[in-house]
Structure 1
Amino acid sequence: MTADSPDTVVAPVAGRIIDITEIPDPVFAGKSMGEGFGILDTPGGDVVAPVSGKVMMVAKTGHAVGITTASGLQYLVHLGIDTVELEGRPFTITVSKGDEVTAGEKIGTMDNAVIEEAGKSTATVVIVTNTKKKLDSLDVDYGDADLGQEVARAHPKVAAAPKPAAENAPDAVVAPVAGRIIDITEIPDPVFAGKSMGEGFGILDTPGGDVVAPVSGKVMMVAKTGHAVGITTASGLQYLVHLGIDTVELEGRPFTITVSKGDEVTAGEKIGTMDNAVIEEAGKSTATVVIVTNTKKKLDSLDVDYGDADLGQEVARGTAKVKDPAPAAAEAEPSSEPSSEVATVGDGGVAKQRPAELTGFDALAWDIIDNIGGAENVRSVTHCITRVRFYLKDEGKADDAVVADLDGVIDVVKAGGQYQVVIGPEVENVYNAIEAQLGPTDDAPEDVREKPTTAVGWVKYGFSELIGVITGSMIPIIGLLAASGIIKGILSLLLTFDVITDDSNTFQIINAMSDAVFFFLPIFVGFTAARRLGADPIIVAIIGGVLTYPTLVEMSNSGADSNILGMPLNSDFFGIPFHMASYSYSIFPIIVAAWVASIVEPWLKKVIPAILRMIFVPLLEVIIVSVVILMVLGPVVMFISTGIATTIQALYDLSPTISGAVIGAFYQSLVIFGLHWAVIPLVAQDIAASGNSYLNAIISSTMVAQGGAVLAVFIKTKLEKIKSLSGPAAISAFCGITEPAMYGVNLKYGRVFIMASIGGFVGGLLTGLFNVNMWGFTGSLIGFTSFVNPDGLDFSFWGFLIASAAALGTAFVLTWFFGFKDSDVEAERTVKKVRLGRRDPVAK
């Protein structure tokens, strides 16, 4: 056949030929590895070559074989899904790298019984791995096919006119260390294997010793720890030699580098040494990697010779893309330096690479920024309990799939004009690393959502905005409320077991620690609400201080002869009577105060001359807003919020058991829609006002149930990726944060969430049946001290333990037997959280 005639492709196994997008694996179905087709319902047995050509790769575990045809197309036969984990047991491959094969010729066998017993799929895939560069079209005949039957024809692209030799001359790449050359995807590191840093190859079984330059060029970077060297060739390709995996942690001890930045080197020239003994003693891998870090912008192709190689032996050829005939002035310089600093991409086409010395959260932060369009695409960034939240200038520049697949990222959610990266418990560490690398950013954009045009639309819009304001105001202080609840519980235990007495100084000090957050809640909520609504946080915090001023708190306790709607008119202002409510421990009045301030403040700035604003804006704002809240809006808000709390308690009192069962079953469903943020302030207000909350006790059991379900997944699964997600998610749920469990595992594999909800139903029912009460804000297992009655240990504590055990046990057992199996991972769903309202600071 000629180089541009079609390849005849036959079925490597018998079965039903399907479109590649129907394969139960997101990588193959998403065509990220290339065009192709799938085969379902295969009986196993013999496996034949799908095309005629040369065997270029045989996976150690036998689950994949690569063949290159005379046309230059590269085919990969992948037997089963995730079968690499079976370590070769189901496969016998009878060909080796370098063998010539004919389409239909037997190349091995496949044992379906072993695959299915391990819970894996026998779905087989044939893909053209160099689709983008070489494939013009692939015509597939779908339907049933016998073993060796022709099922497709692949047309290669017609070769273009020869490129100018000077521009198309490939870089000769030699082995920087002796060893076995392997495909980059086989490197035991997800960053390199996933090609997120670029195309390349790996070297295993290196003896250590001398290290030579893999290419001729200029040294552009030498890592401080000596584990990596970057070299740019005349073609503009940038090569990185990375010695060992995670060896940056060894602080340079195994390496001696004899070149410096700016030096010119020749391929094969000694540039340093590598001490394998030191690396292996530290428990690290000596696997070495050579990658082209500007692959996306500059690399046309990289042809690698796999197998054993001596030090300095040519093992690959890297060909750069040919420049456009009339390149832009900005591209006059073909390359840039790999830097030890964070690089960005500008209009000049400067290439990116993750600095080799970045590890841990810093490395993850760099990868996230890189894959959302770079630092220049970020307007602003903030975070909540589990998510880093970006405002991007252009969301189209973000690669959702790549970001979601990064190690350390649970999922990506886009809502309310935000690009949200779900991290889990480590969100603060990742956020700090991102913030440090981004530097100053623009202000967050104004909310540009389309305004409603109907009455119903305005009601929905208003409710959404209200929830957004409440959420943005409460998120920053949730941790404080939880911590104070734990301290309260510890204080109760100390009293119960007579370690201290309630008239001791020790009691007073610990009680102040536990009570301060609640007593001065208006100050803290005022600050966060003002930030969300665009008012001055300090001024609104001062107004919160007014509401909690001791004299006014004492005034609220006085009676009066007259009242309005049961509220005594117990104070007056210049002779005008009004109801002085007790605002310490309150939430909603100060949120309303922040809203009023966001209206008054811009008006004051408009009417007061600039030279006087510094003094008179805060002066008048404090007076106006304080008076409005104290005399009018504060009493109204307190009346409404107290009424809602009383109504909820009355409904609970009608039947605690039924209430517990219903809330237990459905509360975590509210989390999906963001509606739980309407409940959390009511719980906090209830605890602050009365000292306890029956509703919070029920909510606690739902957290335990979610944790029990994801714990079952963690113990049952054999998939490392699912273990790495479910283990930390279970710990988070038992610490009162269910989002990592829900969005990382339970909702993705829907039956798990259902089983967790059943566990919540059982836990909530028992919580109501035992009339369990809760005196702290912190729920789930970590909040056990919140169930200790300050007046002495009672059955609420034991009821909490029984209900939690029942919720955890029910969710665990049901998930284990009915909720999850590893094959579910192939059909995981995409979970999108609905978030009501914008939570972040408005632009000012």
Structure 2
Amino acid sequence: MAKYEKQVHEILEALGGEDNIEKATHCVTRLRLALKDEDLVDTDKLEAVDIVKGSFSANNQFQVIIGQGTVDQVYRDMMELTNIGEASKDDVKDASSKKMNPLQRAVKLLADIFIPILPAIVTAGLLLGLNNVLAGPGIFDEELSLVEMYPQWAGLADMIEIIASAAFAFLPALIGWSAVRRFGGSDLLGIVLGLILVHPDLLNAWAYADAQEAGEVPVWNLFGFDVEAIGYQGQVLPVLFASFVLAKLELWLRERIPDAIQLLVVAPVALLVTGLLTFVIIGPITFALGNGITGVFTWLFDVLPALGGFVYGLLYAPLVVTGMHHAFLAVDLQLTGTGDGTFLWPILALSNIAQGSAALAMMFVSRNDNIKGLSGTSALSAYLGVTEPAMFGVNIRFKFPFICAIIGASIAGMFIAINGVLAESIGVGGIPGILSIIPQYWLAFFIGMLIALIVPFVLTLIYGKTLAKRSIIKEEQ
């Protein structure tokens, strides 16, 4: 007999029945479902099931929060008791994507490309944070860094920096691998394409502005036309567009070249044609476009930092709900790729903290033991950079904690933007995010953290207690 047979039947009934589920899979804590009609879902009935800790819809997937460990057994029981059939996360994504509009499809495409490389980027960010601790002046001494105080640590710091910066130095190779695979081509060719764009014989992209000003940009002469021989270190758009061309060209060639000579023809022709198109057309256009996009953000945060920080802090959590926050990954990577650092990611880290603080306040507001337990564990998760349990399981569920969280995030974002806080890289969100902040901005970021910790907690607590008192008065009347 299935362990959670009763609960599975209750969940299915609340979801509109077995026939309303098109595909079903699960992750560490949640059932992830592609439903035929989400309007059939009875949320109140669903969240009344004793093992359900919350539910939400995002990216046309309906997700039921159950909890780590338990969700595995619930999913197995569901598969045993129904004819739904097991599915992978990709199956559910594909089923969900059919209902998406063009903008949602574009954002999903970016997510599919960037999410697989995030572990490498986040790991690099953590290691760069460790290097910041070792090499950043003013942390352990007013003027000297730790390696200047103890030169015997200098070699270790240099080695850590090389290990950490590799992911950013060869970012086009990572993006090329993921993008070409997403577009249906051979991921190995995507890696080669990315490495071509950062070949050491090319002018480094970070030195391009100075070389252009000095009139020393190297060029190739192709049939009477001068083509700049520059690399695309830290650039996102050139390799994205080039990967699309490479994948489609490879697939086109495979359909037309006999199997016996595909190895000799497909990859060489695809790489050669894509490389030429990239250096002649794709690269220069997207290089300018990418710099223009980051230039707009940089201008906004330079000229109107208070407005930029406030608006991004206000909008980031709602963007997460819609899934559109993935679009800003490209901007963050582009900003870190320039070598100056990103001013957007620190606001993300504070938004995580704000969501955690609002959820933590619900521990003291709610009278329901299940909500109290979920609020505490999800707050801890948010403080460590994973906001989904807090945001979807608690804050959005009760609405006012979510609003209090984004108020706190917007104020904190405005403060650190005014102070010009920069992160050297994308890292782990939440409280550990301070390790990715350039050390000279640690104090300002720490104050921003306090704002994100205190403001949402206090607002949620006051408003929640007020609502509780009102309900008591109504009951007495």
Can you list the C-alpha shifts for 1:787-808, whole angstroms capped at 9, x where unaligned?
243xxxx3x2111111210221
Shift, 1:379, TM fit: 6.8
Distance in structure 2 (CA, Å) of the matches to 1:651 and 1:474: 25
Residue in structure 2 matching 1:650, options 299, 304, 319: 299
One-letter identity of the residue aligned with 1:195: K
Q: Does 1:753 align with 2:398?
A: no
Secondary structure of the equivalent of 1:747?
A: helix
Distance in structure 2 (CA, Å) of the matches to 1:527 and 1:400: 42
One-letter identity of the residue aligned with 1:783: G
Residue in structure 1 matching 2:177, options 489, 504, 527: 527
One-letter identity of the residue aligned with 1:810: V
Distance in structure 1 (CA, Å) of the matches to 2:233 and 2:37: 43
Shift, 1:815, TM fit: 0.5
1:469 and 1:533 in contact (8 A); partners too: no
Secondary structure of the equivalent of 2:314?
A: helix
Q: Which residue of 2 aligns with 1:196?
A: 7
Pair 1:389–1:775, CA change in 2 (3 A): same
Q: Which residue of 2 aligns with 1:465?
A: 105
2:312 and 2:347 in contact (8 A); partners too: yes
Unaligned runs of 5+ in 2: 80-84, 472-477
Distance in structure 2 (CA, Å) of the matches to 1:484 and 1:787: 13
Secondary structure of the equivalent of 2:226?
A: strand
Q: Does 1:593 align with 2:242?
A: yes
Q: Which residue of 1 aligns with 2:433?
A: 783
Distance in structure 1 (CA, Å) of the matches to 2:324 and 2:90: 27
Distance in structure 2 (CA, Å) of the matches to 1:549 and 1:700: 34
2:32 and 2:63 in contact (8 A); partners too: yes
Residue in structure 1 matching 2:123, options 483, 506, 520: 483
Q: Which residue of 1 aligns with 2:286?
A: 637
Distance in structure 2 (CA, Å) of the matches to 1:820 and 1:601: 62
Structural mapping, 1:30-429, within 5 Å: 195-196=6-7, 389=32, 405=49, 407=51, 410-411=54-55, 413=57, 415-416=59-60, 418=61, 420-421=63-64
Shift, 1:420, TM fit: 4.6
2:172 and 2:235 in contact (8 A); partners too: yes
Distance in structure 2 (CA, Å) of the matches to 1:819 and 1:590: 49
One-letter identity of the residue aligned with 1:658: L
Distance in structure 1 (CA, Å) of the matches to 2:129 and 2:89: 43
More helix by share: 2
Q: Does 1:709 align with 2:374?
A: no
One-letter identity of the residue aligned with 2:443: W
Unaligned runs of 5+ in 1: 1-189, 199-295, 297-363, 452-459, 827-844
2:183 and 2:248 in contact (8 A); partners too: no
Pair 1:373–1:695, CA change in 2 (3 A): same
Pair 1:406–1:530, CA change in 2 (3 A): farther
Distance in structure 2 (CA, Å) of the matches to 1:442 and 1:531: 17
Could you state the TM-score of these two structures normalised by the residue count of structure 1?
0.46
Can you list the C-alpha shifts for 1:170-195, whole angstroms capped at 9, x where unaligned?
xxxxxxxxxxxxxxxxxxxx966x82
Shift, 1:483, TM fit: 2.5
Pair 1:716–1:527, CA change in 2 (3 A): same
Q: Which residue of 1 aligns with 2:474?
A: none
One-letter identity of the residue aligned with 1:807: A
Q: Which residue of 2 aligns with 1:544?
A: 194
Structural mapping, 1:440-589, within 5 Å: 444=91, 449=98, 461=102, 463-495=103-135, 496=137, 497=140, 498-500=145-147, 504-552=154-202, 554=204, 557=207, 570-572=218-220, 574=222, 576-589=225-238
Q: Which residue of 2 aligns with 1:800?
A: 445
- Aligned pair count reads 440
Which is higher, the Rg of structure 1 or of structure 2? Answer: 1
Can you list the C-alpha shifts for 1:656-708, whole angstroms capped at 9, x where unaligned?
22332333233322222223222222112101212312232333322221111
One-letter identity of the residue aligned with 1:469: L
Residue in structure 1 matching 2:383, options 718, 734, 737: 734
Shift, 1:581, TM fit: 3.8
Can you list the C-alpha shifts for 1:514-567, whole angstroms capped at 9, x where unaligned?
11221122222222222332222222122112222222355984789989xx99
Pair 1:390–1:816, CA change in 2 (3 A): closer
RMSD between aligned residues: 4.2
Residue in structure 2 matching 1:812, options 457, 469, 476: 457
Distance in structure 1 (CA, Å) of the matches to 2:26 and 2:262: 30
One-letter identity of the residue aligned with 1:768: A
Secondary structure of the equivalent of 2:344?
A: helix
Secondary structure of the equivalent of 1:799?
A: helix
How many percent identity over aligned positions?
A: 24
Secondary structure of the equivalent of 2:403?
A: helix
Could you state the TM-score of these two structures normalised by the residue count of structure 2?
0.77
One-letter identity of the residue aligned with 2:448: A
Q: Which residue of 2 aligns with 1:770?
A: 419
One-letter identity of the residue aligned with 1:799: A
